[in-house]
Structure 1
Amino acid sequence: MVTDQDTEFHNPPDADHRYAETNWFCFYIPQEKIMGIIYTVSRRGVGVQSCDVSLYGALVDNRVETLYLDAQMALPCPPSLREYTTANGLSVKAHSIRDYTVSYRGYDDTEIDFDFKGLMEPFDIHDKNHSPMAKDTVDAQHAGAGMGSGYGGHFDLTGHFKGRLKFRGVEYPIDCVETMDHSWGIRAEIFVPTMGWSHCHFGPDFAIKWINHWDPTKPVDQQQSLAHGYVMDKGEVYGLTDLKLVTHRLGSVIHAVEVTATDKRGKVWTAHGAAECGGPWVCYVASNLYVAQCRWTLNDGRVGYGLASEINSMQALTRQHGRRWMKSSGHLTV
């Protein structure tokens, strides 16, 4: 179980450059088809923090068509995660493990202000009372987490975002249900595990959230399997026991997602997501990551929204797809 203390840093005194602590917030304005992502990665062992503030206004396949991008990789690491301000204008305050205030002052007359109120108890992927997929040993936890040791500690939290976005001087209200997370552990910048992190929300009373393993070398309908996840039903959380997932892509671009999730009560939920906006998201320079905000239809007819995302390491991809113009001679001549 996570507590209010887990809003703070967790890194041990001997943490090196690989140890990372992350904060993720995402909001969506359906009527405008605008998605916003706010993400920080703190590496306190070497005193640096990256901060990414991105806006998407269409479904795109390259970064130049991102609506707004302020990604800075080597900012000073703050002394505390409970309340901090980054050098590029982001401020985050954790009032508790469930409630946050976030503001941002960027370029081109762009501002973000919202309060996030958790609608449930934070979901600890390593707590068996939360996740039926939780493991007993550290090695097994890392193997089953999805993000490996980068999820040495991790919680997901579905909640209500309320505030405003000002983009190039025009203001838009933020009023949506989405999911934030917080992770800590050893997370090197290369060979990031291949995985997915996604969810769908149908108002404040119901959501499905999952982390999945992903093997892109397999047929599309066999690529993905459950790591952890939950159904939030009227404020109560029920861990997932099974997940069937098919993602339709053109290259890396997510177009649609079919999900069937079974929770620990034995209830089965199916939903279809159609991507409305999204694009490449480079939170780590040596990774290939795509994010898409989907319009979801639940099997009972309810309509909602939520993020679908997938990450793969560039090292794994270049091993498979790297090109060279000339065939190797097998020896070097001087």
Structure 2
Amino acid sequence: MITDADADFHEPTSDGQTWAETNFFGCYVPGATPDAAPINIGVYALFRPNAGVVISTVHINSRFVDQPWQGDFWDAQHHLAIPEPRNLRDYTLANGLSVKTIEPNRVWDVAYSNGRNVDLHFRYTALMPAYDISDPAQDPITAAQQADTSFAWGAAYKGHFDQTGRFEGELTLRGQKHAIDCVSTMDHSWGLRDEHQGHNMTWLHAHFSKDFAIHGIFDLDHSAGPDTPTEGAVTHGYVLDHGEVYGIRAGRNRVIRQGFYAKALEIEVEDVRGKTHHLTGFGRTSFPWQAGPGTVGYNVLAEWRRRDDADARGWGEIQEFVGPQFLTDLYSARAAAAASAAVDGAH
């Protein structure tokens, strides 16, 4: 269960350098017309209290890109000092990012300026309580795992919540102003987090209004390489339906890929009411978000459809995380196979 105290820094359970505390705020500006490009916005801070530093990234993008510098804006700084005295409820970093808690785990004011051509500010207001994926009272998949005597708690099931809310503010990007008024999902994590991405995962959400949204975390297997369709089982998630939150107890996703990006995606999930939800998402932007040097997030802002409401249109991000070491193993194996085939062909 998440309490007001979880808005503060947590006492590290280890003196290791990889203990981390994170905040992520992701929002978007839908296209003003069907032909206009939407804008995806991500603001992230990863504190390493035992090391005294912060990794922070700010990315803004309205296109399909393969390199972060091809996007509209990318600011990644990995050795910012943690401001003293340390206060996760109210901090300003040297990269121009400031985050202030107005109501713990419910309302934040976020602002960023690079001092030159990007200014961003918004208020995030929660539409639901924080969803604790390690709390069996909230998450039915965690409850089932806890009931299994062979299940052992791991770091992935501790210190994390997701939450859907409303973002209201403004982005000024190279002199052009864009109003921000959307429903999206933030998260907050704490615990040991290695420099290397240890497992692949899909973290996604679809928002149709303040009354209906779906968030899910899914297994991800990229071992077949780029351009290969994938399927993954849901591991945690919820449905926000007219102010009530219903944990997801089962489901899968199916992804058609362009490279490693989700070009189109279907999800089918069942919530604790026994109600099944079918969604289809179509990638409208792509961006390779490196939240840290040891991970790659193949991020897509998707436009979503609901099978049970043909007129409904939603927006939300698909974030798919893969470790660079996994990718180098994959591409090295492919290069070796191609070289071997070339030698065999020469004979």
Q: In structure 1, the residue corresponding to 2:69 is in which secondary structure?
A: helix
Kindly indicate whether the alpha-carbon contact (under 8 Å) linking 2:231 and 2:252 is maintained by their aligned counterparts in 1: no
- The two structures, once aligned, show a CA RMSD in angstroms of 2.1
**Partner of residue 163 from structure 1, selected from 147, 163, 169:** 169
Distance 2:27 2:51 in 1: 30
Shift of 1:213: 1.5
CA shift in 2, pair 1:150/1:85, >3 Å: farther
Q: How does 1:1-334 map to 2 (within 5 A)?
A: 1-12=1-12, 14-31=14-31, 32-78=37-83, 79-95=86-102, 96-134=104-142, 135-136=145-146, 140-142=152-154, 149=155, 152-217=158-223, 223-299=231-307, 300-301=309-310, 302-322=312-332, 323=335
Q: Which moved more, 1:8-17 or 1:60-69?
A: 8-17
Instruction: Supply the AA of the counterpart residue of 1:213.
Output: D
State how far apart, in whole Å, the 2-side matches of 1:254 and 1:247 are: 6
- In structure 2, C-alpha distance between the alignment counterparts of 1:164 and 1:173, rounded to whole Å: 5
Aligned equivalents of 1:286, 1:14: Cα separation in 2: 20
The offset of 1:138, in angstroms, is 12
> In 2, Cα distance between the equivalents of 1:139 and 1:22?
26
Distance 1:225 1:218, change over 3 A: farther
Task: Write the distance in 1 (CA, Å) between the matches of 2:270 and 2:157.
Answer: 23
Q: Distance in 2 between matches of 1:90 and 1:222?
A: 36
**2: CA distance, partners of 1:83 / 1:112:** 17
* Cα distance in 2 for residues equivalent to 1:184 and 1:14: 12
1 CA distance for matches of 2:242 and 2:66?
A: 37
Cα distance between partner residues in 2 of 1:43 and 1:247: 34
Gaps spanning 5+ residues in structure 1: where?
143-148, 328-334
Mapped partners of 1:116, 1:75: distance in 2 = 24
Say which SS state the counterpart of residue 209 (structure 1) adopts: strand
Aligned-residue offset at 1:61: 1.8
Residues 191 and 167 (structure 1 numbering): CA distance in 2 closer, same or farther, change over 3 Å? closer
User: Sequence identity, in percent?
Assistant: 36
CA drift at 1:218: 6.3
Query: How far, CA to CA, are the matches of 2:267 and 2:141 in structure 1?
Result: 18
Aligned in 2, Cα 1:223/1:141: closer, same or farther, shift over 3 Å? farther
> How far 1:15 moved relative to its partner?
2.7
Q: What is the CA–CA distance in structure 2 between the aligned matches of 1:138 and 1:80, rounded to whole Å?
A: 39
Tell me, in whole angstroms, the C-alpha distance in 1 between the residues paired with 2:181 and 2:100: 19
Q: 1:81 to 1:53 in 2, by over 3 A?
A: same
SS of the residue corresponding to residue 166 of structure 2 reads strand
Aligned twin of 2:34: none
Asked if the contact 1:150/1:187 (under 8 Å) is kept, the reply is no
Q: CA-to-partner distance for each residue in 1:62-108, whole Å, 9 max, x for gaps?
A: 22311101110000123111110111110001122111110111143
- The gaps in structure 2 that reach 5 residues or longer are 32-36, 341-347
Q: Please tell me whether the aligned partners of residues 133 and 158 of structure 2 are also in contact (alpha carbons under 8 angstroms).
A: no
Q: Distance in 1 between matches of 2:109 and 2:162?
A: 17
TM-score scaled by length of structure 2: 0.87
C-alpha separation in 2, matches of 1:150 and 1:84? 26
Aligned AA (1:188) = D
CA contact (8 A) 1:151 1:184 kept: no
- Secondary structure of 1:321 counterpart: helix
